[in-house]
């Protein structure tokens, strides 16, 4: 927690496109704001009028249940009106361009558009063309800023601070927007980051971002303060990236035996959905070190904070 | 801003001292006495400060009440940011603080404590915020300064000092524990060009 | 009307000529000065003091989009853009609709060009039927219809056996083979150079090896078939090295460079602006350095634009969904002058002219690219010192998909003469 009156930072963004563009102060500002919104969740009436009269469109071109639901509950608790549009229910399937679809949304007075899209950069594309606030709910393999913020929040809540911690992210980094946003956020807040996974999914090129790349999980685990396990998929194009789930578990799965290498207070995180028995042993996912459900709860506070901040700014 | 008959020509903004630390202390003591007088059941009173200075003022009033030999009085924090009526109209947003009130509120008297009472919109937002925590028996309002210019049908129950101001004037308040400056209140007359 | 261009610096690399002199044009052909003294017609005098007078420039890599995609560009508008860029001859790629894989389509293009184009438009035909990379296109018929080369540009024949037979067959019918070098398996869904920025932005990477593998394949096939393969838009450092080694052994292989691949690097994509998306993609600083080295030592002896117009609505989409390519005819000469001659001092002016004239003319085996007497008077006048700003809105092209809008450049063509007639002047 920061001392009151200490920081002069004020929020000035209408869009949240990624973590990379934020300063460390802005990241902390969102986390602090989320503290206040987490408190709202403990009230008898869990709804505040902050975004009363605003319309939020959950525009999910790529399917997602968890993130969309989290944004929807957050928006409802802020008193915004919520509309959900999925890929199948949008005109995109009829060949309408993203720009045209978004212009229609704006013409319908959508104040806030929460966009999930398969193409990296799609939220920025909209932000450059619309007056509405654009919140990135995951774009391609680029960024998933609210996921990283809720991960940072959970770490800060459990560990007191992020700076100085050793955070290990394990799994499919190459195709992961969660990994990228986490890397940017963790480094901004002063953590040390190690990426672990098959060399095909964790190319050395990532070291240029300021992280360490390792292919030896057993060597890395003993010094970890946090391990964040990413979902492993062995579908379609991934067949060329690693031989199979069995070998993945052998080399990189967080099994019960491996978990013994962890410090007793090391946090285990997972953005979900979990492949039980693949990235992580099923019992560990529900164990004392797991903060997976905290992540979900904190996700609500983070998304309320982000919607409040970006949606609450006057738009030109 | 105003088209007053007097075309005054004073060039620099004038800063007039209104209260020093001693005067602030006297005003808070008076508020404390009034709270004691009007609330025979002090144990059911909660002082809910609005961040940041309202929280400090509430803490000080509670301290004064305790120093008068009364039992400790409960305090809380009520941040009004999420309940304001101008969301979407500001170019930048300040930090929101977590609210905290001793629960439950039923049968309690919650006294909102603010530094400067002005339009009444903050007090309205505070009342809204408080009601999301529960349904207190009554809500009252205390402010160190009442500078006038209400825009809502709200009045202050406990006033430290009435300070009539013109629209172009500002009240500057500093409290040692919040601002790192000695306690003081000034009236700043901003001369418009 | 006959013309005399006075007092310009005549650079004619084919004749190893570089001198300040007058150039005479009589009846649409380059003439000796005395030939001008025919009394029957007036003489148009052009003052070329301080200007370069050189053979009309040739761009052997242009997409004119007709037939089929007239909303992007037409033969007429593309030719106008070429003239404004100083080009008197352009070679158009066959990925039109219908695809230029039959003599009838070639005939249509030639007829259309004769009717509306203000510069010489030379068509190419495809290597494979419908650009599918599966069966040979009728290369002999295409040759007879008048194509100057065959290429599947925009696509790349993946089947090495088919490519081998195409090169062998092209040798028989006397056509050079152009190739867009891209290994589909290695490149996959890649849209930007695989490196720091693709890693950072999570955009699918297009590795340099995807180009180098095919350049190497082409070296082997050019050697096997003893016939010329020209590798289009070379972008990667490794490709330059492979070409250099092969050329040293006498293999008939060449490569071309596009201005964007030396003017820009992959960091330009960080705002997801699709005007920086082209194929092959913008690469790293080391690649630019290698391209400059290749130009300096002659490994890369031909310059081209890969002029690829797309409409705004087509480009104004998600980055990975946008079509590849940028327009280039009107910025090409200025960028190369600015970057190669002025800034990096990679080459001198005569070399630049050579790379734009005699080198492509020899590859295409066309009667162009020199100022020899009696040749068709295709002439370009260049002010190498002129400082100007490129405004996309003032472009002659129908499309405006350029990353160079607002760029301040030094040097440009000021007059373009085709067959003795000025088709464009500043």
Torsion angle of C-alpha atoms B110, B115, B120, B123, degrees rounded to 10: -30
**Residues listed for chain A:** 316
Instruction: Provide the pairing of β-strand A112-117 with A133-139.
Output: parallel
Q: Does B174 touch chain A (CB under 8 A)?
A: no
- Answer yes or no: are the C-beta atoms of B122 and B114 closer than 8 Å: yes
The 3-class secondary structure across chain C, one letter per residue, is CEEEEEEEEEEEHHHCEEEEEEEEEECCEEECHHHHCCCCCCEEEEECCCCEEEECEEEEEECCCCCCCCCCCCHHHHHHHHHHCCEEEEEECCCCCCCCCCHHHHHHHHHHHHHHCCCEEEECECCEHHHCCCCECCHHHHHHHCCCCECCCCCCCCCHHHHHHHHHHHHHHCCCEEECCCCHHHHCCCCEECCHHHHHHCCCEECCHHHHHHHHHHHHHHHHHCCCEEECCCCCHHHHHHHHHHHHCCCCEEEEECCHHHHCCHHHHHHCCHHHCCCCCCCCHHHHHHHHHHHHCCCCCEECCCECCCCHHHHCCCHHHCCCCECCCCCHHHHHHHHHHHHCCCCCHHHHHHHHCHHHHHHHCCCCCCCCCCCECCEEEEEEEEEEECCHHHCCCCCCCCCCCCCEEEEEEEEEEECCEEEEEC
ipTM for the whole complex: 0.92
Nearest CA distance, A233 vs chain B (angstrom): 40
Cα–Cα distance for residue pair B58/B76, rounded to 1 Å = 8
Among C231, C148, C149, C226, residue whose Cα is nearest residue C182: C231
Give the pLDDT of residue A4.
Answer: 41
Give the pLDDT of residue B2.
Answer: 38
Q: Within a 10 A sphere around the Cβ of A100, how many other Cβ atoms?
A: 14
Cα–Cα distance for residue pair A88/B89, rounded to 1 Å = 35
- Answer yes or no: are the C-beta atoms of C119 and C77 closer than 8 Å: no
| R_g (Cα) of chain A, nearest Å | 19
Torsion angle of C-alpha atoms C368, C372, C378, C384, degrees rounded to 10: 100
Among A157, A187, A186, residue whose Cα is nearest residue A31: A157
Of chain C, the percentage scoring pLDDT greater than 90 comes to 96
Q: For residue C377, list its beta bridge partners.
A: none
For residue A206, which residues of chain C lie inside 8 Å, CB to CB?
Answer: 199
Q: What are phi and psi of C152, to 5 degrees?
A: -105, 30
- Answer yes or no: are the C-beta atoms of A196 and A168 closer than 8 Å: yes
pLDDT in tens, B95-147: 899 999 999 999 999 999 999 999 999 999 999 999 999 999 999 999 999 99
Q: Does C407 touch chain A (CB under 8 A)?
A: no
- Pair of tokens at residue A314: 């006057």
- Pair of tokens at residue B106: 């039923």
Mutate to test the interface with A, among B58, B92, B131 (most CBs of A within 10 A): B92
Lowest mean pLDDT among A102-111, B115-124, B127-136, C248-257: A102-111
pLDDT in tens, C349-391: 999 999 999 999 999 999 999 999 999 999 999 999 999 999 9
Is the model more confident about A221 or about A94?
A221
- Pair of tokens at residue C399: 């499309």
Q: Which of residues 106-165 of B touch A (CB under 8 A)?
A: 128-129, 131-134
User: What stretches of A219-312 adopt beta strand conformation (E)?
Assistant: 226-229, 267-269
Rounded alpha-carbon distances, angstroms, from residue C324 to A37, C237, C261, C271, C276: 45, 21, 14, 16, 9
Q: Which of residues 254-273 of C touch A (CB under 8 A)?
A: 271-272
Give the pLDDT of residue B91.
Answer: 86
pLDDT band at B6 (very low <50, low <70, confident <90, very high): very low
Cα–Cα distance for residue pair A310/A15, rounded to 1 Å = 6
Question: What sign does the CA torsion over A28, A30, A34, A36 have?
Answer: positive
To the nearest 10 degrees (0 to 180), the angle between helices A292-312 and A66-77 is 50
Q: Within a 10 A sphere around the Cβ of C374, how many other Cβ atoms?
A: 11
Burial C52-66 (b: 16+ CB within 10 A, else e): bbbbbbbbbbbbbbb
- Answer yes or no: are the C-beta atoms of C98 and C67 closer than 8 Å: yes
Inspect the interface and report whether the beta carbons of C272 and A20 lie closer than 8 Å.
no
pLDDT surpasses 80 at B11: no
- Pair of tokens at residue C364: 């295409």
- Answer yes or no: are the C-beta atoms of C7 and C20 closer than 8 Å: yes
Cα–Cα distance for residue pair C86/A153, rounded to 1 Å = 60
- The overall longest dimension of chain C from CA atoms, in Å, is 71
Cβ-Cβ contacts under 8 Å for B24 (sequence gap 6 or more): B144, B160, B175, B183, B184, B185
Interface partners of chain A (CB pairs < 8 Å, 3 or more) are B, C
Cβ-Cβ contacts under 8 Å for B166 (sequence gap 6 or more): B2, B189
Inspect the interface and report whether the beta carbons of A36 and B100 lie closer than 8 Å.
no
Q: How many CA atoms lie within 13 A of A137 on its CB side?
A: 26
Indicate the SS3 state at residue A58: strand
Cα–Cα distance for residue pair B161/B158, rounded to 1 Å = 9
- Answer yes or no: are the C-beta atoms of A163 and A187 closer than 8 Å: no
pLDDT band at C141 (very low <50, low <70, confident <90, very high): very high
Among A17, A19, A20, A43, residue whose Cα is nearest residue A31: A19
Inspect the interface and report whether the beta carbons of B99 and A39 lie closer than 8 Å.
yes
The set of catalytic residues of C is 306
pLDDT surpasses 70 at B167: yes
Nearest CA distance, A254 vs chain B (angstrom): 37
Q: Average pLDDT over chain A, rounded to whole?
A: 92
pLDDT band at A101 (very low <50, low <70, confident <90, very high): confident
- Pair of tokens at residue C57: 């420039």
Q: What chain A residue is nearest to C195 in terms of C-alpha separation?
A: A205
pLDDT surpasses 50 at B5: no
Torsion angle of C-alpha atoms A59, A62, A65, A68, degrees rounded to 10: -30
- Pair of tokens at residue A15: 């869009």
Q: Does C195 touch chain A (CB under 8 A)?
A: yes
pLDDT surpasses 70 at C48: yes
Q: Average pLDDT over chain C, rounded to whole?
A: 96
Give the pLDDT of residue C241.
Answer: 98
- Pair of tokens at residue C73: 């560009």
Inspect the interface and report whether the beta carbons of A125 and C188 lie closer than 8 Å.
no
* H or E element, residue A298: helix A292-312
To the nearest 10 degrees (0 to 180), the angle between helices A24-40 and A177-188 is 110
Q: What chain A residue is nearest to B50 in terms of C-alpha separation?
A: A4
Provide mean pLDDT across the span A279-294.
95
Provide mean pLDDT across the span B152-161.
95
Among A128, B13, A45, residue whose Cα is nearest residue C274: A128
Q: Within a 10 A sphere around the Cβ of A288, how many other Cβ atoms?
A: 9
Question: What sign does the CA torsion over C290, C295, C296, C297 have?
Answer: positive
Q: What chain A residue is nearest to B77 in terms of C-alpha separation?
A: A36
pLDDT band at A1 (very low <50, low <70, confident <90, very high): very low
Cα–Cα distance for residue pair C374/C372, rounded to 1 Å = 6
pLDDT surpasses 50 at B169: yes
Q: What pTM does this model have? A: 0.92
Q: Within a 10 A sphere around the Cβ of B174, how many other Cβ atoms?
A: 17
The Cα angle at residue A191 between residues A298 and A26, in degrees rounded to 5:
60
Cα–Cα distance for residue pair C228/C175, rounded to 1 Å = 9
Cα–Cα distance for residue pair B126/C357, rounded to 1 Å = 79
Q: Within a 10 A sphere around the Cβ of B158, how many other Cβ atoms?
A: 22
- Pair of tokens at residue B1: 């801003």
pLDDT band at A2 (very low <50, low <70, confident <90, very high): very low
Among C274, C184, C178, residue whose Cα is nearest residue C222: C178
Nearest CA distance, A235 vs chain B (angstrom): 44
Provide mean pLDDT across the span C1-29.
94
pLDDT band at B85 (very low <50, low <70, confident <90, very high): confident
Mutate to test the interface with B, among A1, A29, A36 (most CBs of B within 10 A): A36
**Residues listed for chain B:** 193
Inspect the interface and report whether the beta carbons of C318 and A141 lie closer than 8 Å.
no
Interface partners of chain C (CB pairs < 8 Å, 3 or more) are A
Residue B98 has its nearest CB partner, among A35, A52, A53, at A35
Lowest mean pLDDT among B162-171, C170-179, C403-412: B162-171
- Answer yes or no: are the C-beta atoms of C137 and C175 closer than 8 Å: no
Inspect the interface and report whether the beta carbons of A4 and B91 lie closer than 8 Å.
no
Q: How many CA atoms lie within 13 A of C110 on its CB side?
A: 16
């Amino acid at each position: 927690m920061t001392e009151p009156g200490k920081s002069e930072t004020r929020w000035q963004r209408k869009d949240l496109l990624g973590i990379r563009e934020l300063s460390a102060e802005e990241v902390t500002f969102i986390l602090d704001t989320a503290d206040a919104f987490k408190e709202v969740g403990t009230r008898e009436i869990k709804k505040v009028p902050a975004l009363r009269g605003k319309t939020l469109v959950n525009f999910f071109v790529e399917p997602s249940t968890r993130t969309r639901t989290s944004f929807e509950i957050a928006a409802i608790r802020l008193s915004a009106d919520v509309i959900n549009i999925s890929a199948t229910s949008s005109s995109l399937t009829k060949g309408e361009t993203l720009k045209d679809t978004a212009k229609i949304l704006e013409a319908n007075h959508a104040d806030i558009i929460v966009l999930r899209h398969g193409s990296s950069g799609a939220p920025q594309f909209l932000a450059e063309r619309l007056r509405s606030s654009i919140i990135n709910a995951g774009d391609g393999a680029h960024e998933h800023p609210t996921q990283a913020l809720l991960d940072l929040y959970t770490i800060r809540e459990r560990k007191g601070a992020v700076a100085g911690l050793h955070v290990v992210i394990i799994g499919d980094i190459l195709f992961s927007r969660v990994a990228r946003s986490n890397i940017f956020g963790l480094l901004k807040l002063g953590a040390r980051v190690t990426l672990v996974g098959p060399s095909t999914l964790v190319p050395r090129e990532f070291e240029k971002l300021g992280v360490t790349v390792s292919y030896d999980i057993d060597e890395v685990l003993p010094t970890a303060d946090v391990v964040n396990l990413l979902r492993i998929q062995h579908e379609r194009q991934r067949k060329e990236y690693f031989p199979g789930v069995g070998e993945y578990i052998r080399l990189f799965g967080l099994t019960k035996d491996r978990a013994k290498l962890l410090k007793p207070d090391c946090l285990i995180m997972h953005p979900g959905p979990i492949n039980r028995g693949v990235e992580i042993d099923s019992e560990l996912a529900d164990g004392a070190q797991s903060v997976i459900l905290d992540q979900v709860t904190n996700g609500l506070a983070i998304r309320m904070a982000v919607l409040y901040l970006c949606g609450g700014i006057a738009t030109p | 801003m105003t088209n007053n008959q007097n075309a005054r020509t004073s060039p620099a903004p004038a800063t007039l001292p209104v209260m020093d630390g001693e005067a602030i202390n006297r005003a808070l003591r008076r508020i404390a006495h009034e709270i004691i007088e009007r609330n025979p059941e002090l144990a059911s009173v909660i002082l809910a400060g609005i961040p940041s200075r309202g929280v400090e003022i509430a803490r000080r009033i509670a301290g004064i009440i305790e120093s008068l030999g009364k039992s400790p009085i409960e305090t809380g924090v009520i941040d009004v940011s999420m309940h304001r009526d101008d969301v979407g109209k500001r170019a930048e947003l300040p930090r929101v603080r977590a609210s905290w009130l001793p629960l439950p509120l039923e049968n309690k008297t919650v006294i909102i404590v603010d530094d400067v009472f002005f339009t009444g919109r903050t007090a309205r937002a505070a009342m809204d915020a408080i009601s999301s925590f529960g349904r207190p028996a009554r809500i009252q309002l205390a402010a160190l300064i009442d500078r006038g210019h209400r825009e809502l049908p709200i009045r202050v129950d406990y006033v430290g000092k009435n300070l009539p101001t013109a629209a172009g004037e500002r009240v500057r308040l500093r409290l040692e524990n919040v601002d790192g400056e000695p306690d003081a209140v000034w009236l700043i007359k901003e001369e418009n060009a | 009307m006959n013309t005399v261009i006075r007092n310009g610096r005549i650079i004619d690399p084919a004749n190893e000529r570089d001198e300040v002199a007058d150039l005479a044009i009589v009846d649409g052909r380059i003439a000796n000065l005395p030939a001008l003294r025919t009394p029957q017609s007036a003489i148009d005098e052009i003052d070329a003091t301080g200007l370069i007078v050189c053979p009309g420039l040739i761009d052997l890599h242009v997409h004119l989009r007709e037939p089929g995609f007239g909303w992007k560009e037409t033969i007429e508008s593309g030719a106008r853009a070429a003239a404004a860029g100083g080009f008197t001859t352009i070679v158009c790629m066959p990925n039109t609709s219908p695809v230029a894989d039959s003599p009838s389509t070639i005939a249509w293009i030639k007829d259309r060009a004769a009717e509306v184009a203000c510069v010489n438009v030379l068509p190419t035909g495809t290597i494979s039927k419908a650009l599918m990379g599966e069966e040979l296109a009728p290369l002999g018929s295409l040759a007879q219809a008048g194509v100057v080369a065959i290429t599947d540009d925009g696509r790349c024949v993946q089947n090495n056996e088919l490519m081998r037979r195409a090169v062998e067959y092209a040798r028989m019918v006397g056509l050079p083979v152009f190739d867009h070098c891209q290994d589909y398996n290695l490149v996959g869904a890649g849209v930007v150079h695989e490196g720091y920025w693709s890693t950072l932005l999570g955009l699918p990477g297009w590795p340099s090896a995807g180009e180098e593998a095919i350049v190497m394949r082409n070296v082997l096939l050019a050697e096997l078939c003893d016939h010329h393969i020209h590798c289009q838009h070379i972008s990667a450092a490794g490709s330059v090295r492979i070409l250099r080694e092969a050329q040293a052994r006498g293999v008939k292989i060449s490569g071309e460079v596009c201005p964007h691949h030396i003017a820009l690097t992959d960091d330009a994509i960080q705002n997801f602006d699709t005007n920086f998306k082209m194929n092959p993609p913008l690469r790293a600083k080391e690649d630019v350095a290698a391209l400059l080295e290749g130009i300096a030592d002659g490994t890369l002896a031909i310059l081209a634009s890969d002029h690829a117009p797309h409409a705004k609505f087509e480009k104004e989409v998600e980055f990975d969904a946008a079509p590849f390519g940028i327009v280039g005819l009107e910025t090409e000469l200025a960028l190369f002058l600015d970057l190669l001659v002025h800034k990096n001092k990679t080459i001198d002016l005569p070399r630049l002219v050579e790379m734009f004239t005699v080198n492509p003319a020899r590859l295409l085996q066309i009667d162009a690219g020199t100022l020899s007497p009696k040749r068709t008077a295709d002439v370009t006048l260049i002010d190498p010192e002129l400082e100007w700003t490129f405004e996309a809105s003032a472009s002659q092209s129908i499309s405006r998909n350029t990353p160079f809008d607002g760029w301040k450049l030094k040097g440009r063509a000021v007059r373009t003469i085709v067959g003795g007639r000025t088709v464009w002047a500043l």
